[in-house]
Amino acid sequence: MFETAHKQVVESPTPSQSPASQTAQLNVAESRLDPLSGDWTIFATERSKRPDDFIDQVPGVKTDVECPFCQGNESTTPPAVWVGQIPETARILGSISDCDESPIDDWSVRVVPNKYPALNDICEAEMDSFRVSPSHRDSNLFRSQPICGGHEVIIESRRHVKSLTQLDMAEIDLVFQAYRDRLKHYRSMPGIAYTNVFKNVGRTAGASLTHAHSQLIATDRMPRIVESRVDRMRRHRAETGCCLSCDLLRAERKAKQRVVACDDTLIAYCPFASHLPMLVRLTTLEHQACFEDLGDRVLESVSRMVYRVITWLERLRPGTAYNYYINTRPPGIKDPTDSFHWSLDIFPRMTQVAGFEWSSGCMINPVFPETAAAMYRKCVSAENPRRFR
Amino acid sequence: MFETAHKQVVESPTPSQSPASQTAQLNVAESRLDPLSGDWTIFATERSKRPDDFIDQVPGVKTDVECPFCQGNESTTPPAVWVGQIPETARILGSISDCDESPIDDWSVRVVPNKYPALNDICEAEMDSFRVSPSHRDSNLFRSQPICGGHEVIIESRRHVKSLTQLDMAEIDLVFQAYRDRLKHYRSMPGIAYTNVFKNVGRTAGASLTHAHSQLIATDRMPRIVESRVDRMRRHRAETGCCLSCDLLRAERKAKQRVVACDDTLIAYCPFASHLPMLVRLTTLEHQACFEDLGDRVLESVSRMVYRVITWLERLRPGTAYNYYINTRPPGIKDPTDSFHWSLDIFPRMTQVAGFEWSSGCMINPVFPETAAAMYRKCVSAENPRRFR
């Protein structure tokens, strides 16, 4: 067929005639390097002006399904490994008095093993035996291993609420306490190399249930990109004597334009080379390697700041799907120079990982972080500070 | 708040009592290493049994929008840089006689610069000047650079068809000829480091228009994961004297269970450590670094095999969103030992990149490639070979 096909090669128009080139001259696409990941991200605001054949739809939600996370349905999940209760005083002062009818199974936040785990739930002794056993290899080309650790669900409320912003502040504080306690639990378990707390909200963010919840995965394997991130932080410390994240924070505070909010302990900003649109990074101004080592007061500030960021997101993009995750120093990392710095990234799901991104690993971001930060700052100006205190 | 919260830590049940652990013992989650990427992927079939609150919806499509890719609307796109026409004989024998009313703008496949480019469309001379100019750096922490090259759309038919399987075989052949010619064009352009041909079908795969099309991006920057993939192939060649992909093919053919189809030139298989569910990899049995160096006969086999894979996908998952991309040796790569091997990956969009995947880079795949290959082989048995010859 190819031999007989008639083909005509048309010369490219010169730049002055090319509409695409004219556009490009007005809106130069820019790539930015993320010093933490080593990845270049392409910023191309033109992309968001594309015509769109598809109708925006918020995924429908089934109404006839019994929610396994609601109070009263505790037997449908594995037994809890952590339970947090709001003290009597908080219950009187708080806004969750509608739950008072059920004194049985009186919990506010509940952590259970995931019933559909991504990895094998192995107790400490078994972890140890897995570690010393040789890896199961068919050959060097087909290497496989059982993957062990823990996969837990943090059920954020006994009420069937969908957003963290519908929780009482006392519940939110408990959620972050649960993160801290469970991360500490896995950190102390022999063989655990990596821990990750994350939250998926909405179908396009990977959630399957709508009841407010987050998850924790702890594994005996160190992901390659986490290792590479740690290496970069380590190299920066060796070369400059400083923590890379602390240096970035200082530079962002000096540059100002990407900072969204700052208090005496925390900063929330849109990173210069953000690989995803509207991503907000939250961390402590003071150097701190591990989220799970945060003191009570700082942890409380973190939970309030996360609450605020989600209210901004919900204001800017009502019904948006979003994710957050906590980068904390992986237990498997030897870090004698204290080069790691924890952070929490929150981002709405605005773009798809498409063919180009899958094959190149290079993200195309249609929103500059300066624009995103300005949008968030408008939300800060409009917020009622009493709401989150 | 944290100081006063009453907290109760519940002991984890022993493995014999834990439902999660019982599940795990029946279905051990496995991780597999991809020797090409260096990434471990978690295979966890239990994940697909999760309850789901969301209703599956195929995104709605607007009907009142004029399609810029249809015949007659050529003026709404930048001028074509490549045009392919099916010869008269093919038109009589083929199935596209319904298009014969319009002898004007008589094209079958048309390549145009993307009107909403992800990068700056710079002509050869400008590329050169960009290359020698210093990078625009605010500081070492805030590094940015204009990103240059080309971003093109391959319009696969003048008719408003949505799937490549609705094309005539002669049109499909032209599409693959266009890929080859445009990749060659950019390979010969000074300063181009990386080229990528990809296809996004359906909203969740990143498409914005439904008219059958694919895209090409050529850039002056080498993506980090592509560089790392090249390094692995190079190291394998240095250590063993063999091409890593050729070794993988041989091993897959010997193992048999993940091979879907094989002819005298091509193999289609589900890779052992596939990071995405139901992914099919297609490549030449014979060592070949660059897709754009394929001869006419082999290229024709590739276009027919891609057509077949998409018919299988559409049979197994009607209306599915999917992507494909071509990995070809990047022009910026020095490869004196000829260690690179081209491939084309096709995959339906079944899972979301969620919080865990974004932060760890580690994918969770709910379908073992052995299962996927068996499903595809059933489609092979049911297919009518006359359809694609």
Chain A contact set for B3 (CB, 8 A): 296
A73–B contact, CB cutoff 8 A: no
CA distance B347 to chain A (A): 10
What pLDDT does residue A118 have? 81
Chain A contact set for B224 (CB, 8 A): 38-40, 361
CA distance B379 to chain A (A): 24
Backbone angles phi, psi at A41, to 5 degrees: -115, 140
The percent of residues above 70 in pLDDT, for chain A, comes to 81
What pLDDT does residue B127 have? 52
Q: CB distance B204–A209 less than 8 Å?
A: no
Mean pLDDT of B184-212: 94
Integer Cα distance of A219 and B17 in angstroms: 21
Q: How far is CA A344 from CA A166, A337, B367, in A?
A: 20, 22, 30
Choice among A45-49, A64-68, A325-329, B109-113 with the minimum mean pLDDT = A45-49
Q: B388: pLDDT confidence band, cut at 50, 70 and 90?
A: low
Nearest to A5 among B80, B84, B364 (CB): B84
The tokens for A234 are 């380590």
Residue B248: partners with Cβ closer than 8 Å, 6 or more residues away: A141, B35, B36, B271
Backbone angles phi, psi at B383, to 5 degrees: -85, 155
Backbone angles phi, psi at A320, to 5 degrees: -65, 145
Chain B contact set for A170 (CB, 8 A): 1, 5
The tokens for A188 are 């102390």
Integer Cα distance of A331 and A340 in angstroms: 12
The tokens for B294 are 């394929």
For chain A, the residue count is 389
With tokens 């989220």, the residue in question is A291
With tokens 């980090």, the residue in question is B224
On the CB side of A269, CA atoms within 13 Å amount to: 25
Residue A15: partners with Cβ closer than 8 Å, 6 or more residues away: A21, A25, B121, B122, B123, B126
Beta bridge partners of B111: B82, B154
Residue scoring higher pLDDT (B240 or B120): B240
Calculate the CA A251 to chain-centre distance: 23
Query: Is the model's pLDDT at B99 over the cut of 90?
Result: no
B255–A contact, CB cutoff 8 A: yes
The three-point CA angle A54-A56-A57 to 5° equals 120
What pLDDT does residue A135 have? 45
Would you say A349 and A202 are in contact if contact means Cβ atoms under 8 Å apart?
yes
Q: CB distance B20–A299 less than 8 Å?
A: no
Top residue of B74, B147, B327 to mutate, by most chain A CBs within 10 Å, is B147
Residue A202, by phi and psi: left (phi above 0), alpha (psi -120 to 50) or beta? left
Q: CB distance B15–A54 less than 8 Å?
A: no
CA distance B324 to chain A (A): 6
At B160, the amino acid letter reads H
Sign (positive or negative) of CA dihedral A152, A156, A161, A162? negative
What pLDDT does residue B306 have? 97
Query: Is the model's pLDDT at B341 over the cut of 90?
Result: yes
Choice among A150-159, A275-284, B110-119, B206-215 with the minimum mean pLDDT = B110-119
Using one digit for the tens of pLDDT, what is the confidence trace for A64-122? 778 999 999 999 999 999 999 987 444 433 333 344 443 447 799 999 998 888 887 76
Q: CB distance B29–A119 less than 8 Å?
A: yes
Q: How far is CA A374 from CA A46, A83, A280, in A?
A: 19, 39, 12
Would you say B215 and B175 are in contact if contact means Cβ atoms under 8 Å apart?
no
Residue A213: partners with Cβ closer than 8 Å, 6 or more residues away: A69, A153, A154, A155, A156, A199
With tokens 């596209």, the residue in question is B96
Q: CB distance B200–A355 less than 8 Å?
A: yes
Contacts across the A-B interface (CB distance below 8 Å): 455
What pLDDT does residue B87 have? 74
Using one digit for the tens of pLDDT, what is the confidence trace for B277-331? 999 999 999 999 999 999 999 999 999 999 999 999 999 999 999 999 999 999 9
Query: Is the model's pLDDT at A143 over the cut of 60?
Result: yes
What pLDDT does residue B278 have? 97
Largest CA distance in chain B: 84
At A185, the amino acid letter reads H
Integer Cα distance of A369 and A269 in angstroms: 9
Choice among A29-33, A86-90, A258-262 with the minimum mean pLDDT = A86-90
The percent of residues above 90 in pLDDT, for chain A, comes to 67
Would you say A247 and B141 are in contact if contact means Cβ atoms under 8 Å apart?
yes
- What is the overall mean pLDDT for chain B? 84
Integer Cα distance of B373 and B371 in angstroms: 6
User: Which of A292, A273, A244 has the alpha carbon at shortest distance from A365?
Assistant: A273
Residue A259: partners with Cβ closer than 8 Å, 6 or more residues away: A252, A253, A267, A268, A269, A373
The tokens for A62 are 């089934």
Choice among A83-87, A251-255, A384-388 with the minimum mean pLDDT = A384-388
Integer Cα distance of A313 and B84 in angstroms: 47
Integer Cα distance of B166 and B157 in angstroms: 10
Integer Cα distance of A321 and A202 in angstroms: 4
User: Which of A167, A207, A208, A201 has the alpha carbon at shortest distance from A317?
Assistant: A201
Residue A330: partners with Cβ closer than 8 Å, 6 or more residues away: A193, A194, A195, A222, A226, A230
Cα distance between the two ends of chain A: 72
What pLDDT does residue A48 have? 66
Helix locations, chain B, DSSP H: 19-26, 88-93, 124-132, 169-187, 224-240, 244-255, 296-316, 355-360, 369-382
Residue scoring higher pLDDT (B386 or B232): B232
The tokens for B66 are 């004029």
Q: B28: pLDDT confidence band, cut at 50, 70 and 90?
A: low
Residue A139, by phi and psi: left (phi above 0), alpha (psi -120 to 50) or beta? beta
Residue B165: partners with Cβ closer than 8 Å, 6 or more residues away: B307, B310, B311, B314
What pLDDT does residue A28 have? 65
Using one digit for the tens of pLDDT, what is the confidence trace for A305-359? 999 999 999 999 999 999 999 999 999 998 899 999 999 999 999 998 999 999 9
Integer Cα distance of A272 and A252 in angstroms: 8
Integer Cα distance of B213 and B199 in angstroms: 7
pTM above 0.80, yes or no: yes
Would you say B346 and B306 are in contact if contact means Cβ atoms under 8 Å apart?
yes
CA distance B212 to chain A (A): 12
Q: Give chain A's radius of gyration (CA, Å).
A: 24
With tokens 């610069």, the residue in question is B113
Integer Cα distance of B118 and B104 in angstroms: 31
- Interface subset of A 343-372, CB within 8 angstroms of B: 345, 351-362, 364
B133–A contact, CB cutoff 8 A: no
As for the ipTM of the complex, it is 0.86
Q: What is the 3-state secondary structure (H, E, C) of chain A?
A: CCCCCEEECCCCCCCCCCHHHHHHHHCCCEEEECCCCCCEEEECHHHHHCCCCECCCCCCECCCCCCCCCCCCHHHCCCCCEEEECCHHHHHHCCCHHHCCCCCCCCCEEEEECCCCCCEECCHHHHHHHHHCCCCECCCCCEEEECEEEEEEEECCCCCCCCHHHCCHHHHHHHHHHHHHHHHHHHCCCCCCEEEEEEEECHHHCCCCCCCEEEEEEECCCCHHHHHHHHHHHHHHHHHCCCHHHHHHHHHHHHCCCEEEECCCEEEECCCCCCCCCCEEEEECCCCCCHHHCCHHHHHHHHHHHHHHHHHHHHHCCCCCEEEEEECCCCCCCCCCCCCCCEEEEEECCCCCCHHHHHHCCCEECCCHHHHHHHHHHHHHHCCHHHHC
**CA nearest A216 in B: which residue?**
B356
Nearest to B170 among A1, A115, A141 (CB): A1
Q: CB distance A140–B10 less than 8 Å?
A: no
Dihedral of CA atoms A358, A361, A367, A370 in degrees, nearest 10, equals 160
Sign (positive or negative) of CA dihedral B231, B237, B243, B248? negative
Q: Give chain B's radius of gyration (CA, Å).
A: 24
What pLDDT does residue B141 have? 92
Q: CB distance A300–B14 less than 8 Å?
A: no
Mean pLDDT of B12-21: 34
Query: Is the model's pLDDT at B264 over the cut of 70?
Result: yes
